[in-house]
Amino acid sequence: MESLAAAAAAAGVPAGALRFTLAIFACPLLSAVHACVRGAGARHAVSCALGAALCVFVFGTEGSGNLVAPVAASYALTAAARRQAGAVVFAATFSYLIWWCVRACASG
């Protein structure tokens, strides 16, 4: 991570912003990996692992630990009311992630 901090400093951007940008650009590749996985259970496991890896990369272990409760709530809501959960989970999750990104960028 020291080389990432050095690259961010050289570019004149906060390290958090650089980590977030790199994660955004990694998403299409990770989506292609996800598309190659067969079976619903395996796809869920791959999604969970890749999502956790991205969260730790972007937000660190502190931020990722704080995502456990919202993710669990999202899965519970989806299990309880699958058709109605999409918009609520989307709005709540992205609002929370944007808040963490702003916090991560502000702290460098």
**pLDDT over 70 at 108, yes or no:** no
**Count of structural domains, the chain:** 1
pLDDT tens per residue across span 12-64: 888 888 888 888 899 889 889 888 999 988 888 888 788 888 888 887 877 67
Structural domain containing residue 83: 2-107
**pLDDT over 80 at 68, yes or no:** no
**pLDDT over 90 at 103, yes or no:** no
Confidence category of residue 1, pLDDT binned at 50, 70, 90: low
DSSP codes joined into one string, 76-106 = HHHHH-HHHHHHHHHHHHHHHHHHHHHHHHH
pTM of the full predicted structure?
0.63
